[in-house]
Amino acid sequence: MEIPLSLRRRADGTTVYGIPLWYRIMTAAILAFAAGGLAISGEAPGIIGYVVLALLVIGLLYQEIWILDPANRRLTRKEGIFPLSKTIAIGFEEISSLRLSALATGTVPGSAEEKLESEKAFSILKGGADEAAAFRANEKYSLFKPRKKHAINLVIGTKGGEDYLVDSVPASSAKRLLELGKAISSACGVEMIEG
């Protein structure tokens, strides 16, 4: 299951792109229900019970978050299991590029087909779900030629030569990625490139 990250703006001016609150609430409720069931039974759980509880705790403590902090001129990424999560802070002055790139499954990088499918992905991004449905309706499908899946990636490049993938989402639901890219672009003064 892929958890779609959510984009939120806080009152202090920071922009947060991370795991949504509904996921935390749902995971905590399932964990409480499972732990309560085990406590009521009065017996020690089997190995599967311990595994399920451990997975629920890991799911609750896992964090994947990007924090855009214009006041401190910093972009921070936290990923991993709290409190052992890895934190990377990128100063605005270190950011050299910001780009949206397209990805289509089943294409060869650099080919004419890949270029055409990338254009379709950006067209879907601008048109949303209706545009994606129109492309699917016009596409021929068979077991030997499955439909191509179009995705949009937001990538941050640094002056040190490192690239950071912020997220990769289906092109039809990439509006939040576009919004985040625009927020980063305006905060740090780096133009966002599409393509």
Whole-number pLDDT of residue 139: 55
Distance CA 122, CA 150 (A): 9
Query: What is the chain's mean pLDDT, rounded?
Result: 79
What token pair was written down for 131?
């545009």
Whole-number pLDDT of residue 38: 79
CA angle (141 as vertex; 173, 172 as ends), nearest 5: 5
Whole-number pLDDT of residue 15: 84
CB distance 99 to 193 below 8 Å: yes
Whole-number pLDDT of residue 137: 46
**Bond before 146 cis per omega within 30 degrees:** no
Distance CA 15, CA 118 (A): 28
What token pair was written down for 171?
């092109």
Whole-number pLDDT of residue 145: 56
pTM comes to 0.72
Distance CA 192, CA 95 (A): 11
Whole-number pLDDT of residue 78: 93
CB distance 121 to 102 below 8 Å: yes
Whole-number pLDDT of residue 41: 78
Whole-number pLDDT of residue 25: 92
190 phi and psi angles, rounded to 5 deg: -105, 130
Return all residues near 4 (Cβ < 8 A) that are at least 6 apart: 20, 169, 173
Whole-number pLDDT of residue 141: 55
**Which stretches of the chain score pLDDT less than 70?**
1-2, 106-111, 113-114, 118, 122, 127-148, 195
Please provide the DSSP assignment of 132-188 as one string: HHHHHHHS---SSSPPPPEEEEEEEEETTS-EEEEEEEEGGGTHHHHHHHHHHHHHH
